[in-house]
Amino acid sequence: MNRLVIATRQSRLALWQAEHIAQRLREQHAGLTVELLPMTTRGDQLLDRRLDQVGGKGLFVKELEVAMSERRADLAVHSMKDVPAELPDGFTLAAITAREDARDALVAQRYASLAEMPAGSSLGTSSLRRAAQIMERHPSLVVRVLRGNVDTRLAKLDRGEYDAIVLAAAGLARLGLAERIRSRLSLEESLPAPGQGALGIECLAERAEVHELLAPLADRASELCVRAERTVSRALGGSCTVPLAAYAEMSRGTISLRALVASADGRRVLRASAQGADPEAVGATVAAALRSQGADEVLRSPPSGMQ
């Protein structure tokens, strides 16, 4: 192949990520032409409700997958935290790139930490996972739904619609907006979503020639960690409708995974961890531990924590 087309959402962050992968592919393969196919997804259009109310993470990838099925595009680049736990038949994650900072970040004009925010302060997030963990530790804060791309969310903060917002640190850094971060939330304050901080490249499973071009971009340690995290999500029916977090680190061939599930109001939070070499086995162990604590009951609770 001497030409690749990357299907991408049209947000500034999605375009940055797609162009980042395009440039890496050009550097790896002399003479390769890489083009972008910007698209608007259903998830980009429904901005007035929580994702769990309108269909979940798949709303951001369906149109891209249709473009790949129709061979209008060869691959798509995703933030791994936005990729559903189960891909449609015929699709695969051909590469997961080296992970960046996976933590959540507090963005505010007046407050440098969640602890500084007075009772009744409004905090915006689109994530049930973030909301539940914040409400567990800071029940006096008012957590409100915040949708839109990164620039839209920052603009709402700057207009005073929220006292603070929480975004992924990696996304802000990729857009050159790291200076907006007042503090990075510790893993104890806000355990990340499965795959957060890593980019995943999706393509049709049958496209061996595309897999070959993407292989140099894969990072083995990041892939193993993300696989462990996604195993927890898959085992517990994970999607954006579930307040679920999972984060793994690799050291000397050992995967250390921690995860949690929470009620939407943060009043009940279950935690578990495990170590091992096999990502699926480690993920299954953690999922079973959470289930033994009552995860299924917690995850069946209505997602009513955010306003």
Q: Is the dihedral of CA 129, 106, 82, 254 positive or negative?
A: negative
Q: For residue 46, what pLDDT is reported?
A: 47
Tens of pLDDT, residue by residue over 224-250, are 999 999 999 999 986 556 799 999 999
Dist CA 122 CA 160 (whole Å): 10
Among 19-33, 88-102, 292-306, the least confident range: 292-306
Instruction: Kindly tell me if the per-residue pLDDT of 67 is higher than 70.
Output: yes
pLDDT at 55: 45
Catalytic residues: 82
44 or 281, which is more confident? 281
Domains 3-99+198-218 and 104-184 alike in fold: yes
Model confidence over 70-81: pLDDT tens digits?
A: 999 999 999 999
Q: pLDDT tens-digit profile of 96-143?
A: 999 999 999 999 999 999 999 999 999 999 899 999 999 999 999 999
Share of the chain above pLDDT 70, in %: 90
Distance (Å, whole) CA 229 – CA 1: 33
Q: What is the mean pLDDT of residues 187-205?
A: 97
Over residues 42-63, the pLDDT tens digits come to 655 444 554 444 445 556 688 9
Second-level CATH architecture of 3-99+198-218: 3-Layer(aba) Sandwich (3.40)
pLDDT of residue 51: 47
Name the residue with tokens 């890496």: 24
pLDDT number for residue 224: 98
Mean pLDDT computed over 19-36: 98
175-191 average pLDDT score: 97
Q: Which alpha helices (DSSP H) does 159-219 contain, by range?
A: 169-174, 208-214
Smallest CA-to-CA distance from 199 within 103, 101, 98 is with 98
Tell me the pLDDT band of 144, cut-offs 50, 70 and 90: very high
Q: 229-299 architecture in CATH?
A: 2-Layer Sandwich (3.30)
Both tokens assigned to 214: 């993407």
Query: Which token pair is 135?
Result: 């409400």
For residues 197-217, give the mean pLDDT: 98
Q: What is the tally of helices (H) and strands (E) in the chain?
A: 11, 13
| Whole-number percent of the chain with pLDDT over 90 | 82
Q: Which is nearest to 91 in space by CA: 129, 125, 62?
A: 62
Q: For 295-305, how does the pLDDT look when each residue is reduced to its tens digit (9 = 90+)?
A: 999 888 765 55
Per CATH, the homologous superfamily of domain 104-184 is: Periplasmic binding protein-like II (3.40.190.10)
What residue ranges do the domains of the chain occupy?
3-99+198-218, 104-184, 229-299
Buried b (16+ CB within 10 A) or exposed e, 37-75: bebebebbeeeeebbbebbbbbbbbebbbebbeeeebbb
Helices 150-158 and 12-28: crossing angle, nearest 10°? Answer: 140
Mean pLDDT of 280-289: 98
Distance, CA of 20 to CA of 91 (rounded, Å)? 22
Angle at 250 between CA 248 and CA 253, to 5 degrees: 135
At 304 the pLDDT is 57
